[in-house]
């Protein structure tokens, strides 16, 4: 590395004598540049290869289940089996993002713009710690601490809102006897994705150009107005990708859901009952150990469905974001 370094800088910017019409300056191809470019491109391509391998694996092992006669399948006809799980996955992730996104952005703002500067570093560290907690421990915490704690609240919600129109769709009873409903699971998921969204959002907010912020404040903006005018617009793309990362984890989280949720094979918006739609990943964890023969293929096919859901969600997000590229520093 050191040898190419000196060689490269000494012969910088040679003029191209053959091009007399345009005054374009061409850099001579340097070894370091070539290696770096190829390494980078290669890595990017490698990722596509890995993903292609995963996709091949998923599709290849799904086909036997998708084409088999429903009679032979361990869990019955495929779509009837997979649909409640697909719904549950989206529903649980949606709920968890509903909790996590505002809270995460709030925390990131608190650390970047509200907390005393000396404290901020430490606070960021504390939140990052949540990422360190293994999913099993989240599961145990969900069962033993959170669920009994929120159950009285659920009873209260069901008593007060269960009979109302619209709200009744979500808060109807009977309330689960153990409190391990999809709402609890979504809370656990939210806590799990918090550190991911917070950490990235925080870094992005901290990168807001100082001048933008000072300009806003100098014009008499309050702190909140400054954040809305300078920090949030600058950070939006970063926050959205942070949310995508968090959503990815929420969609795919396995063990915590498997341990916390009291699942059933239903499609239901009710948040407080013991019969909750299971998620695809959670169901795989629950059923895989005893799956045998075509059952394994059937479970992997549900994994493929999850894969497609993730693809759809991400493409939608990209489409929404497409118009907002101008905030990026590098473009």
**Interface with other proteins in residues 105-164 (CB under 8 A):** 106-107, 109-111, 114-117, 121, 123, 125-138, 140-141, 143-153, 155-157
Q: Rounded to the nearest whole angstrom, what is the least distance from the CB of residue 150 to other proteins in the complex?
A: 6
Shortest reach from residue 20's CB to other proteins, in Å: 23
Question: Running DSSP on this structure, what letter comes out for residue 20?
Answer: -
**At closest approach, how far in Å is the CB of 146 from other proteins?**
8
Q: Which is nearer to other proteins, 168 or 173 (CB)?
A: 173
Shortest Å, Cβ 66 to other proteins: 16
Q: How many residues line the site for other proteins (CB under 8 A)?
A: 153
277, 179 in Cβ contact below 8 A? no
Chain-centre distance of CA 312, in angstroms?
A: 13
Q: Which residues pair with 276 in a beta bridge?
A: 263
Q: 26, 29, 2, 1: which is closest to 16 by C-alpha?
A: 26
Of residues 272-331, which lie at the interface with other proteins (CB under 8 A)?
274-275, 278, 280-281, 284-293, 295-296, 300, 303, 306-307, 309-311, 313-315, 317-318, 328-331
Query: Measured from the CB of residue 91, what is the shortest distance to other proteins in angstroms?
Result: 16
Scanning the chain, the segments in alpha helix (DSSP H) are 2-10, 31-67, 78-109, 117-132, 135-141, 147-161, 167-171, 182-206, 210-218, 223-226, 232-252, 255-260, 280-287, 294-321
Q: Write each residue from 2 to 41 as x if it is in contact with other proteins (CB under 8 A), else as -, in one continuous string.
A: ---x--xx--xx-------------x--x-xx-xxx-xxx
User: Tokens representing 116?
Assistant: 């005393």
Structure tokens that stand for 313 in this block:
């969600």
Phi and psi (nearest 5°) for 40? -65, -50
Which DSSP symbol is given to 27? P
∠ Cα 129 153 166 (to 5°): 110
Cα distance between residue 175 and residue 314, in whole Å: 34
Give the interface segment with other proteins, choosing from 15-23, 63-71, 163-171, 258-266 (CB under 8 A): 258-266
296: Cβ contacts below 8 Å, ≥ 6 apart? 61, 288
User: Among 96, 184, 198, 298, which residue sits at the site for other proteins (rule: CB under 8 A)?
Assistant: 198
Q: Per CB under 8 A, does 182 bind other proteins?
A: no
Residue 22, classed as helix, strand or coil, is coil
Contact pattern for other proteins over residues 48 through 87, marking x by CB under 8 A: x-xx-xx--xx--x-------------x------------
C-alpha–C-alpha distance, residues 140 and 253, integer Å: 15
Residue 68 or 264 with smaller CB distance to other proteins: 264
Question: Is residue 101 a contact point for other proteins (CB under 8 A)?
Answer: no
Give least dist CB 79 to other proteins, A: 17
CB of 56 to other proteins, least distance (A): 10
From the CB of 41, what's the least distance to other proteins, in Å? 6
Q: Which stretch binds other proteins (CB under 8 A): 15-23, 63-71, 161-169, 239-247?
A: 239-247
Out of 204, 230, 231, 271, the only residue in the binding site for other proteins (CB under 8 A) is: 204
For other proteins, the binding residue among 96, 176, 184, 297 (CB under 8 A) is: 176
Element at 277 (helix H, strand E): strand 276-277
Instruction: Check residue 230 for interaction with other proteins (CB under 8 A).
Output: no
- DSSP string computed for 200-238: HHHHHHHTS-HHHHHHHHHTT--HHHHIIIIIHHHHHHH
């Amino acid at each position: 590395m050191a040898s190419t370094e000196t060689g490269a800088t000494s012969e910088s910017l040679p003029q191209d004598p053959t091009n007399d019409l345009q005054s374009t300056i061409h850099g001579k191809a340097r070894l370091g540049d070539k290696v770096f470019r190829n390494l980078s491109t290669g890595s990017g391509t490698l990722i596509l290869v890995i993903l292609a391998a995963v996709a091949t694996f998923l599709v290849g092992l799904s086909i036997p289940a998708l084409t088999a006669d429903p009679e032979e399948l361990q869990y019955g006809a495929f779509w009837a089996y997979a649909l409640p799980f697909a719904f549950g996955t989206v529903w649980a992730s949606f709920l968890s993002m509903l909790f996590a996104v505002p809270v995460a952005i709030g925390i990131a703002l608190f650390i970047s713009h509200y907390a005393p500067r000396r404290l901020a570093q430490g606070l960021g560290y504390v939140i990052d710690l949540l990422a360190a907690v293994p999913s099993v421990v989240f599961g145990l915490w969900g069962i033993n601490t959170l669920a009994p704690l929120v159950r009285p609240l659920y009873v209260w919600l069901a008593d007060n809102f269960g009979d109302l129109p619209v709200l009744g769709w979500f808060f109807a009873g009977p309330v689960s006897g153990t409190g391990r409903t999809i709402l609890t699971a979504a809370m656990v998921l939210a806590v799990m994705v918090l550190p991911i969204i917070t950490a990235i959002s925080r870094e992005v907010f901290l990168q807001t150009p100082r001048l933008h912020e000072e300009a806003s404040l100098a014009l008499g903006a309050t702190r909140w107005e400054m954040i809305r005018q300078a920090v949030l617009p600058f950070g939006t793309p970063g926050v959205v990708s942070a949310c995508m990362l968090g959503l990815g984890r929420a969609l795919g989280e396995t063990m915590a859901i498997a341990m916390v949720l009291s699942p059933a094979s239903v499609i239901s918006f009710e948040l407080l009952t013991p019969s909750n739609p299971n998620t695809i990943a959670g169901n795989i964890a629950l059923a895989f150990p005893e799956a045998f023969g075509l059952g394994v293929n059937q479970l992997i096919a549900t994994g493929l469905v999850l894969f497609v859901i993730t693809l759809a969600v991400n493409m939608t997000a990209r489409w929404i974001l497409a118009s907002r590229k101008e905030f990026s520093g590098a473009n």
